[in-house]
Amino acid sequence: MKAQKIFGIVLAGGEGKRLMPLTEDRAKPAVPFGGHYRLIDFALSNLINSGVTQIVVLTQYKSHSLDRHVSQTWHVSGGLFNSYIASVPAQQRLGKRWFSGSADAILQSLNLIHDEKPDIVVVVGADHVYRMDFSQMIQAHIDSGAQATVAAIRQPIGLADQFGVIEVDAATPDRISDFREKPKDAIGLADAPHEVFASMGNYVFNADALIEAVRRDGERTDSSHDMGGDIVPDFVSRGEAGVYDLQRNEVPGSTDRDRYYWRDVGTIDSFFEAHQDLISALPVFNLYNQSWPIFSQQLNSPPAKFVRDAKGSLGTVIDSIVSLGCVISGAHLERSVVGPWAVIDSGAHVVDSIVFDRVQIRPGAVVHRAILDKDVIVAEGANIGVDRDRDLARGFSVTESGITVVGKGVHVHP
């Protein structure tokens, strides 16, 4: 049997409205995560680690920082093996219109598939945090004979109304019998009635079948042109859609604690909670797995530095991630993630927070359950996340759970 040629497509054109104001000036996949990473780094790292080396990233919404990150960080030399990762914006090949959905993004980019002539196309989202060996899913797809395969993660049945839910028959557990968006009456799995299969937004297709499917969908006037909402149900209706249980996937270096971790960080609350999963001594998601690394841009930066302040106070750092270039001087930092080149000064108190690049937190400032975007300056003695009404009055976003978000470049006064 000849080797199958694999082509990767990363869907990175989403607007990410639920992550505002973090997406006010950038595409959702370009949002910083875990210190020096961007969200898209997880999808691209998984593909590269899986041996998929011809990849296009389809971009659209406020894509400048995302395009720059892909070009600067993910420069893969073509060489003899024709390996590359290329950012491809909406090209308006089918008329003067933008992508109207994820399926339409592929339809308008079919020239990319025609150029490479792959046997298999892997389509993944760009805004989930997880590890996955796609080579195992690809092999399972080939072995099953399905035309399309959807990656699934087991979730409690009580959360079914938050996901696209995959239903299977006990007689054919690897075939999808129905695919429903956020059902209120989900049916549990035969081997685990308290669980359902939730779609991870990752797919493997036979290339010719994908081309036919997005063309059919493009001719429909009643379609939202979405991969999960329209393309997958089309394959299901013909009995050609398979499911791949993430529990079958064995990632090198994974532990029992993080083996099947997957987080959709589509809201401020889930974004915040995913960061909390990183910081414990035994993290729920382990960034330190050297057998399956998450790659990103490593800026030419000095190490992080922890120093005494002018009064000789060293401060404390507990259960936190601190990136390169940071200086923590006599401050208290706890259960927080700090991005590159941030400065936290004497007497400042930062707890349960996410601090992006180049943020400055001046002496005596208090930051509690907050997300500070790039270049925010918190003035001496200022408070964030302490008084909800005051935060709202200052124009900051505050979630129902009490997470305060300060947009890029804001100067916060006492």
- According to the model, what pLDDT value does residue 269 have? 95
Is the model more confident about 136 or about 66? Answer: 136
Rounded mean pLDDT of 123-147?
95
* pLDDT exceeds cutoff 80 at 313: no
- Say yes or no to pLDDT of 298 above 80: no
Q: Tell me what pLDDT residue 224 has.
A: 81
Query: What is the per-residue pLDDT across 150-169, written as a single tens digit (0 to 9) for each?
Result: 999 999 999 998 888 999 98
pTM for the whole thing? 0.92
CB atoms within 10 A of CB 284: 15
**Residue range 10-22, pLDDT digits in tens:** 998 777 788 899 9
**Single-letter amino acid code for the residue at 218:** G
Q: What is the mean pLDDT of residues 77-102?
A: 72
Strand-pair category, 349-351 with 366-368: parallel
Q: So what's the pLDDT on residue 13?
A: 74
Which has the closest alpha carbon to 341: 315, 363, 361, 365? 361
The larger pLDDT score, comparing residue 244 to residue 264, is at 244
So what's the pLDDT on residue 61? 80
Cα–Cα distance for residue pair 22/39, rounded to 1 Å: 12
| Residue 40, token pair as written in the block | 């898209």
Mean of pLDDT over the chain: 90
Average pLDDT in the 202-228 region? 90
Taking only the tens place, the pLDDT of each residue in 334-359 is 999 999 999 999 999 999 999 999 99
Q: Which residues are annotated as a binding site for alpha-D-glucose 1-phosphate?
A: 164, 181-182, 199
pLDDT of residue 300: 81
pLDDT of residue 100: 67
- Half-sphere exposure (Cβ direction) of 90: Cα atoms closer than 13 Å: 20
| H/E run at residue 87 | strand 84-89
- Domains, the chain, in order of start with CATH, read 6-276 (3.90.550.10), 305-412 (2.160.10.10)
Pairing of the two strands 172-181 and 404-406: unpaired
Q: Dihedral angle at the C-alpha atoms of 228, 231, 237, 243, nearest 10 degrees? A: -50
Distance between alpha carbon 180 and the CA centroid of its chain, in Å?
Answer: 22
